[in-house]
Structure 1
Amino acid sequence: VKAVHEFQNDPHCSLFLISLKAGGVGLNLTAADYVFILDPWWNPAAEMQALNRAHRIGQEKNVFVYRFISIDSIEEKIQRLQVRKRELAETFVTANNPLKSLSENELLELFS
C-alpha cells in the first residue's frame, strides 16, 4: 500500500514494477501511462484486468501498452492462444446460437 501511494503521489517516483496477477487485483495506478508486459498470461481477461489498473476513471493521460514477445518463444504461443480465446469468446457472445459454430474442442479450449 505504501509503494502504491508513493507511486501515485511522488513525482520523483516514475517506475512501479508489479506482476500481472498482483496488478490485477484492487489497485488504482492512474499515475502510470506506460505499461510493459513481460510475462503474458494464458487468460487474456487476467491481463486486461491488470492493464485496467492504469486505464481507468481518473486517468488524465493516454496509456501506452507494450508487450515484449520473442520469436519462437512460449510468450508467442501464449499470445496466439490469447487471440484465439478472444475470438472464441466474441463468437460466443455475438452469435445467435454460438454453440452451433463451436466444436467440442473449441469449447474445451475456451473454458479450460
Structure 2
Amino acid sequence: MTLLPEMLAEGRRILLFSQFTSMLTLIEAELKKRKLPWVKLTGQSQRRDAIIEQFTSGQVPLFLISLKAGGVGLNLPQADTVIHYDPWWNPAVEAQATDRAHRIGQTQSVWVIKLVAQGTIEERILVLQERKAQLASSLYDTSAGRKEPLFTESDLAELLKPLSLS
C-alpha cells in the first residue's frame, strides 16, 4: 500500500501477482478501504474475458492476478508495471507471469518489482532461485567443467531451518 496509491496517481497500469489467493483477498480489502479501483483474476474467477477486458480497455488500472491463473495465456501489453508480491521458488513461473506485459504490442518500458520480507523464507527462496538459474545455465555451459553440484542437501536444510525471531 506504500507503492500503489502513488503509482496509480502517476497513471501506471499495474499487474500485481501473488501465489496466494488469500493474499490477494487481503490486498483487496485494503484497496476497498482506500477506494482504489482493481480487478482480480484467480482460478475461481467467473467471466474471465470480461475481467481481462476491464483492464485491457483502461477501465481499471490495477489487475490482481494469482500466479496459477495468470501465468500463461494472457497478453497484457497495456501494463507498464509488474509487481511480484511474494516470490515463487521457480523463477520460470515468475518469468512467465512477467511476460504477460512483455508481449507483442508493448510500446513502453516495463518496471518489474519483487517484494521480499526481510528475515523470512522469502529471502531464502530468492537465493534458491539464483542457484536454480545458475544450475539451469550450467547445463548448457560445457566449458565450466564443474565437479560440485550447485544444489545440495545442506542447501535444502538451510532453506527449511527455523526462522530467527530477531
Question: TM-score with structure 2 length normalisation?
Answer: 0.57
What's the Cα RMSD here? 2.1
Q: Is the 2:131–2:151 Cα contact (8 Å) retained in structure 1? A: no
Aligned partner of 1:14 among 37, 55, 61: 61
Matched residues in 2 for 1:105 and 1:82: separation? 12
What amino acid is the match of 1:19? S
- Aligned residue pairs: how many? 106
The structure richer in helix per residue is: 1
What corresponds to 1:37 in structure 2?
84
Question: Runs of at least 4 residues of structure 1 off by over 2 A?
Answer: 102-109
Superposed counterparts of 1:84-103, under 5 Å: 84-96=131-143, 101=146, 103=148
Which consecutive residues of structure 1, in runs of 5 or more, have no partner in the other structure?
none
Residue by residue over 1:40-96, the C-alpha shift from the partner in whole angstroms, topping out at 9 and shown as x without a partner, is 111111110111011111111111000111111111111110011001111112224
Give, in angstroms, the shift of residue 105 of structure 1: 7.0
Which consecutive residues of structure 2, in runs of 5 or more, have no partner in the other structure?
1-48, 156-166
The structure having more radius of gyration, on CA atoms, is 2
Question: TM-score with structure 1 length normalisation?
Answer: 0.83
What corresponds to 2:43 in structure 1?
none
What amino acid is the match of 1:25? V
The structure richer in strand per residue is: 2
Tell me the percent identity.
45
